[in-house]
Amino acid sequence: MPYIIMRRADIPNGVLQVDDLKPNDSQRNYTLDPPGQSGYVRQIPPSDTVVTAQPGGGGTAILLVRDACGVGAYLIDNVEDSSGAALTAAVANAAATALIGLAQSGGALTLVAVDAELITAGATAGTGLEAGASTGLLSELLEIMMGAKYQLPSGSVVDTTGAAFNPTRMGFFATTPSVKRILATGAFNVSNGAGDLFGYKRADFEYNGGFGPAVLVLADDGTVI
């Protein structure tokens, strides 16, 4: 599944459309054809600032103080620090900002790159999105970058004692907006090499008087296609 991620903040949702993927949603036969592949490229959802508290002090659970959506919420809910504790709110927020910035700059989002950003943000060496007791998946993180909404309710227990990551996932993906699964078909390769996607990736792509690449296209492993 290739991942098509919006790089520019000045292009609203519902504007940038990839029309040359097959079948086209507006042209397909709903009885005979598989789900459509064409559609709009969405903005990376804003990452709410994650705020936690340990009401009873040391030795008590760490709780999310208010609802949060986005990359930061996903990280604090699904990544175990290699120390055995949950990520701190500061680490989750800093890593979310860095990862979104990496995508918007056109960088790869491989597991190695993601884990490096976690550690740069302050996580203990050896911490990883899919390491240890972490319940994160690179595919899910890339889906959030494509526009999927991950929600973590207030009161979620992310650390059971103040030093022990809770491996039970507290958050969930909203059913809408859902992420369209793009297949690496011949039509995709043509679009990425010479069609709509190719044009959107060009440095001279223009929207509303501004120039610069509009999309980032990643493979399943987070490498740039």
pLDDT above 90 for 211: yes
Question: Within 10 A of 30 (CB to CB), how many other CB atoms are there?
Answer: 9
Confidence check: pLDDT of 29 > 70: no
**Cβ distance 193 to 112 under 8 Å?**
no
Q: What is the pLDDT of residue 33?
A: 55
pTM metric for this prediction: 0.93
Answer yes or no: is pLDDT of 28 > 70.
Answer: no
Phi and psi (nearest 5°) for 45?
-60, 140
Q: Is the dihedral of CA 107, 110, 112, 116 positive or negative?
A: positive
